[in-house]
Copies of this chain bind each other. A is one copy, B any other.
């Protein structure tokens, strides 16, 4: 294998910027969610993903796939949310193996309450220094990167079909 060429300065700047912005934004958002709703970012994401679906109901597996979680990690987080009465677990009539996560009224209420502050943080921190063109450009370029990332195999080379998750 030949020496990989180093990244040029512009590439490095872009890479570091993405990582730092993502990290700082996540930090800020986490604090707001913790303060205003006692939620971690992942818990918030679970509520959001479930709440955004048609009737506030999603299969465990579908939530896990979307949030990159390990199955057991999702089981843990959903248990935390269920303990607070924010979601309820139901069995699926179609597939006895499946578990459905359903947003409770309290869950929806908390989600809506917390979302307001969330939007404010994101707007203040992220969008303030940007104009419409910047936003469009960002969405376009990063959207392409995201699509590419979703395509590329996890670089564990082998497709990895065995052993769940």
- Contact, CB under 8 Å: A22 / B21: yes
- As for how many copies of this chain the complex holds, the number is 2
B122 and A148 contact, CB distance less than 8 A: no
Q: Is A13 an interface residue (CB 8 A)?
A: yes
The complex places the Cα of A138 from the Cα of B134 at a distance, in Å, of 9
Number of chain A residues close to chain B: CB under 8 A: 58
Least CB distance from A130 to B in Å reads: 7
Given the known inter-chain contacts A24-B149, A145-B126, please indicate yes or no for A137 contacting B137, CB distance below 8 A: yes
Checking B19, B121, B128 against A25 with a beta-carbon cut-off of 8 angstroms, the contacting residue is B19
Given contacts A19-B25, A125-B152, contact A14 B135 (CB under 8 A): yes
Partner of A18 from the list B3, B22, B27 (CB cut-off 8 Å) is B22
Scoring A6, A123, A148, A156 by chain B CB atoms within 10 A of each residue's CB, the highest score goes to A148
CB within 8 Å of B: which residues of A? 3-4, 6-7, 10-11, 13-15, 17-28, 31-32, 68, 116, 119-130, 132, 134-139, 141-150, 152, 154-156
